[in-house]
Amino acid sequence: MPHEAISVFDIFKIGIGPSSSHTLGPWRAAQRFLGSLQKEKPIDSVKNVQVLLYGSLAKTGKGHGTDIAVQLGLSGDDPVTFEVGQITEKINSIKTEKKLLLNGVHAIDFDPGSHIHFLVTETLPYHPNALTFLAEYQDGEKMAETYYSIGGGFIKKEAEEETVNTSVQLPFPIDDANGLLHWCMMTGMSISEVVMENEAAWRNEPDVKSGILNIWQVMKECTYRGCHARGILPGGLSVKRRAADLNKTLLKDKTYADYASWVAAIREGGSDFKYILDWVSCFALAVNEENASFGRVVTAPTNGAAGVIPAVLQYFIIFCDGYKSDSIIQFLLTAAEIGSIFKKGATLSAAMGGCQAEIGVSSAMAAAALTECMGGTQRQCLMAAEIAMEHHLGLTCDPIGGLVQVPCIERNTMGAIKAITASQLALQSAPDFAKVSLDAVIKTMWDTAIDMNSKYKETSDGGLAVHIPISLSEC
């Protein structure tokens, strides 16, 4: 079987909320389709474009912003750099004028209401998150491409569905947790050190470090922003943002001017268990409230689970004195490798595996990362990841109204707390006596995903989504 090389920067992607599979993935697919169009003929020869959304993308696409994402992607905008404050204005302009500037240069007739089709009764066999782009040129020639958004912002074109990235040869190829442990034992290196060596296949070490610190910078800014933003989340559920009020309550009358002084103010509050617990919840709430508001976040490994790793990392920085660049890099390198192993052995897609594939995986990633940074052995890191996922097995994805809000935002607080608990358990345990390995729990997660009823896989057809009476005024 060919080895799939996955970089840290494949697992951690800078983008825009609310969903990596329903927003970032379709956005990237639209960008790739633009590239295909331009390879065929000049972009100004395109007459019209239509988009077909299938399965989970159709059922929860409105709430997850899939229609918005494909319009921005077709417009040539990039999720890493596009100014989030301009989203509403641009989408309203397309809707009002019924014109879309293809790749930012060629105007075509485009009415989102009739050119984007939500095919809620149709699902393509390869993956529930499927979308097809149909284009017609001025000369009558037509072109179509189908893409699958397979979780965590990863996409596959239909003809590429069986391929993996084999072009990069890693010094330490890893397919599973046992393989990772093998290289750690052979070399004596920590997990993060093995990952850093592998990253050298793509870029030099200074670039890896600066890239990871840039990922952290986006996480940090998102958390800080979310802890100070009030209001009602968009989408019609009328969910009130809570992080800012919690932040104010916990800090009482303390004053601060920026992130550094904010951290200092938090530390002044001490290390009472309840106080720390409230802050971890606050950090996670803040990130996912930003995510639900189409804010800039880091897929970690998905947008719906984007708050877990920043919350645990903030906990480590503030309450474990981990505010050092090398420690932050170590944390994110370790977390990324665990996410990569889950992607190879199971899935990062809630539409394939329920929320165990999102919150469960992010919790496992954070648990392993925290364990290494707290001085744990390689075996203890893998044990922490296993414990975290073991207690997320079977977690369904049942977003109310198709929005990444209820229960998604609070689930990030649960995932963060479980990660810290899993790390503590592993650090106080002897892994040699563990009954369950990380590879075994990944296999179990995948078996559970296969057995799980499809209505619990990001469709809003089951669970809380059908038992909570709602009226979506804006959807």
pLDDT given at position 474: 40
C-alpha to C-alpha distance for 346 and 357, rounded to whole angstroms: 8
**pLDDT tens-digit map of 294-312:** 999 999 999 999 999 999 9
Nearest to 292 by CA among 229, 344, 380, 342: 229
Query: Is residue 162's pLDDT more than 90?
Result: no
Give the confidence band of 471 by pLDDT, cuts at 50, 70, 90.
low
- What pTM was estimated for this model as a whole? 0.94
How far are the Cα atoms of 111, 136, 358, 376, 388 from residue 411, in angstroms, in the given order?
A: 36, 43, 10, 26, 13
Q: What is the mean pLDDT of the chain?
A: 95
Residue 201, helix vs strand vs coil: coil
**CA nearest 54: which of 26, 34, 93?**
26
In whole angstroms, what is the distance from residue 57 CA to residue 453 CA? Answer: 17
d(CA 426, CA 370): 11
String of DSSP letters for 422-464:
HHHHHHTS-GGG-SS-HHHHHHHHHHHHHHS-GGGBSSSSSTH
Summarised one tens digit per residue, pLDDT across range 180-202 is 999 999 999 999 999 999 999 99
Q: Residue 4's pLDDT band (boundaries 50, 70, 90)?
A: confident
Quickly list H helices, 202-303. 205-226, 243-251, 259-267, 273-292
Own/partner contacts of 435-440, CB < 8 Å, gap of 24 or more, are 436/386, 436/390, 437/177, 437/178, 437/382, 437/386, 438/177, 438/341, 438/364, 438/382, 438/383, 438/385, 438/386, 438/389, 439/176, 439/177, 439/178, 439/345, 440/386
| 279, 327 Cβ separation under 8 angstroms | no
Alpha-carbon distance of 311 to 317, in angstroms, equals: 10
Q: Is 75 within 8 Å of 140 (Cβ atoms)?
A: no
14-48 pLDDT, tens digit per residue, is 999 999 999 999 999 999 999 999 999 999 999 99
Structure tokens at 260: 């550094």
CA–CA dist 9, 336 (Å, integer): 8
- The CA distances from residue 283 to 1, 364, 379, in Å, are 41, 18, 28
263, 276 Cβ separation under 8 angstroms = no
Q: Which of helix, strand or coil describes residue 267?
A: helix
**Cα-Cα-Cα-Cα dihedral of 407, 412, 413, 419, to 10°?**
140
Q: What is the pLDDT of residues 199-243, one digit of tens each?
A: 999 999 999 999 999 999 999 999 999 999 999 999 999 999 999
pLDDT band at 159 (very low <50, low <70, confident <90, very high): confident
List every span in the chain annotated with CATH 3.30.1330.90: 17-160
Query: Cβ(301)–Cβ(339) under 8 Å?
Result: yes
Q: What percent of the chain has pLDDT over 70?
A: 97
Q: Tell me: the pLDDT tens digits for 253-298?
A: 899 999 999 999 999 999 999 999 999 999 999 999 999 999 999 9
At 473, is the pLDDT very low, low, confident or very high (cuts 50, 70, 90)?
A: very low
Report the pLDDT value the prediction gives residue 475, as an integer from 0 to 100.
35
pLDDT at 374 over 80: yes
Number of Cβ within 10 Å of residue 140's Cβ equals 7
pLDDT of residue 1 exceeding 50: no
Q: Which of 392, 446, 395 is nearest to 417 (CA)?
A: 392
Residue-wise pLDDT for 64-95, tens only, equals 999 999 999 999 999 999 999 999 999 999 99
- Confidence (pLDDT) at 470: 75
93-107: pLDDT as tens digits: 999 999 999 999 999
Beta pairing class for 46-54 and 116-119: parallel
Provide the H-helix boundaries in 12-154: 25-40, 55-59, 61-64, 66-74, 87-97, 112-115
The Cα 145–Cα 155 span in angstroms is 13
- Does the pLDDT value for residue 168 go beyond 50? yes
- H or E element: which one contains 147? strand 142-151
Distance CA 358, CA 153 (A): 12
The pLDDT tens digits of the residues spanning 312-358 come to 999 999 999 999 999 999 999 999 999 999 999 999 999 999 999 99
Residues ≥6 apart with Cβ < 8 Å to 254: 265, 268
Sequence-distant (≥ 6) Cβ neighbours of residue 159 within 8 angstroms: none
Question: Looking at the predicted structure, is the pLDDT value of residue 2 above 60?
Answer: no
Give the Cβ contact number of residue 404 at 10 Å: 32
**SS3 state of residue 373:** helix
Q: What is the pLDDT of residue 165?
A: 52
Q: pLDDT tens digits for 416-467? A: 999 999 999 999 999 999 999 999 999 999 999 999 999 999 999 999 999 9
Confidence of residue 113 (pLDDT cuts 50, 70, 90): very high
Cα angle at 219 between 214 and 225, to 5 degrees? 125
Give the fold, CATH level 3, of 17-160: 60s Ribosomal Protein L30; Chain: A; (3.30.1330)
